[in-house]
Structure 1
Amino acid sequence: MTGDVQVGKSTIISRVVAELGVPVSGFRTVAVAGEDGESDIFLIPAAGTRDDCTPASLLARRTPGKLPEVHAGVFVSRGVPLLTECPGPLIVMDELGWMEGSSFLFQEAVFSVLDGTVPVLGVVRDRRLPFLDAVRGHPEVEVLVVTRESREEMQGFVLRVMRERLGA
């Protein structure tokens, strides 16, 4: 899925996964607000909780008025194992964005998953970058645009598609 920030893409994933009731692997990113307008972004297991937001999973720190401080090594130390260990029956990638641009091992893991047989439910940032363009252009990827007006309908559609792909 793709769409504007805060339109409900991650909420759709959470609701669909809960409705399906199947174990998931993969990852999701979680932003945690800090002091003085700062926020930290963590890369955690798809089925993880805020307890998984540890220093080892700190992906980036956003400070108002500055570019985010990205810890790209987390894509390899945490992201690659989350995509390659214990896959299935559903893999979540929430979300792929610009920070992965120089993490080629992580990108390779993403494409390996997309080339596989396990269904993927994910979010791709709506930006024109080589990695994101390649993800959207992958032959196994169907891009769904989520808007505020379509998000409820989109949730039902995604649930039907995932049930079909999982044979549930």
Structure 2
Amino acid sequence: MSLHLFLTGDVQVGKSTIVSGVVAELGVRVSGFRTVAIVGEGGESDIFLIPAAGTREDCTPAAHLAHRVPGRMPEVHEEVFVSCGVPLLAGCSGPLVVMDELGWMESSCFLFQEAVFSVLDGTVPVLGVVRDRRLPFLDAVRGHPHVEVLVVTRENRDELREVVLRRMRERC
């Protein structure tokens, strides 16, 4: 059995919802990170990198990772991966680490990638989300020897939530 469990699948299929629900039901202390999108007028959104147990109050200017305008590539502030993401991963301890989510924006942020792999090489279980996109960093995460990847679909997401919960109870 792999130590770490990552979910992948289409956008808005329910991956982060599964992670949040499983974490809530486990009732354990978590470390790591999650990304939060706050949608504004006209469909524009701001994306923040916050502690896994954080709240909207953690969506501060220092944690502002990207600004997205519909129909355009997001404006990414890669330095946030270093200033926020690396410390959040360096401080990871048990019983569970959350990485929600790993995607294309960190493709050229090698310090953050190193921090991700340092956690994956460790002994604390990870529950995360990894984008279903072919990029060297994401391929390496999916191919890590301690990682198991489950594909979430609209058809299996309710059943998969129970599978993930059962597997994470065995790990934590």
| TM-score, normalised by the number of residues in structure 2 | 0.94
Higher relative contact order (CA closer than 8 Å, sequence separation 6+): 2
The offset of 1:78, in angstroms, is 0.3
The alignment yields a C-alpha RMSD, in angstroms, of 0.8
What is the alpha-carbon distance in structure 2 between the residues aligned to residue 66 and residue 21 of structure 1?
Answer: 39
Match in the other structure for 1:124: 130
Match in the other structure for 1:114: 120
Specify which of 34, 39, 43 is matched with residue 33 of structure 1. 39
Specify which of 144, 148, 159 is matched with residue 138 of structure 1. 144
State the AA in 2 paired with 1:108. E
State the AA in 1 paired with 2:83. S
What is the alpha-carbon distance in structure 1 between the residues aligned to residue 92 and residue 11 of structure 2?
Answer: 30
The offset of 1:153, in angstroms, is 1.0
What is the alpha-carbon distance in structure 2 between the residues aligned to residue 119 and residue 39 of structure 1?
Answer: 31
Change (3 A) 1:109 1:144: same
The offset of 1:36, in angstroms, is 2.9
The offset of 1:65, in angstroms, is 2.8
What is the alpha-carbon distance in structure 2 between the residues aligned to residue 19 and residue 67 of structure 1?
Answer: 36
Specify which of 33, 52, 56 is matched with residue 62 of structure 2. 56
The offset of 1:67, in angstroms, is 1.3
- SS of equivalent residue, structure 1 residue 5: coil
State the AA in 2 paired with 1:36. G
- SS of equivalent residue, structure 1 residue 105: helix
Q: Does 1:156 align with 2:162?
A: yes
The offset of 1:124, in angstroms, is 0.2
State the AA in 2 paired with 1:45. P
Q: Is the 8 A contact 2:92 2:119 kept in 1?
A: no
What is the alpha-carbon distance in structure 2 between the residues aligned to residue 163 and residue 56 of structure 1?
Answer: 34
The offset of 1:66, in angstroms, is 2.0
What is the alpha-carbon distance in structure 2 between the residues aligned to residue 35 and residue 57 of structure 1?
Answer: 20
State the AA in 2 paired with 1:119. P
**Higher helix residue share:** 1
Identity of aligned residues (%): 81
State the AA in 2 paired with 1:21. G
Match in the other structure for 1:3: 9
The offset of 1:86, in angstroms, is 4.3
**Higher strand residue share:** 2
- SS of equivalent residue, structure 2 residue 132: coil
- SS of equivalent residue, structure 1 residue 157: helix
Match in the other structure for 2:4: none
Specify which of 77, 102, 106 is matched with residue 108 of structure 2. 102
The offset of 1:38, in angstroms, is 1.2
Runs of 4+, deviation exceeding 3 Å: none
What is the alpha-carbon distance in structure 2 between the residues aligned to residue 72 and residue 115 of structure 1?
Answer: 24
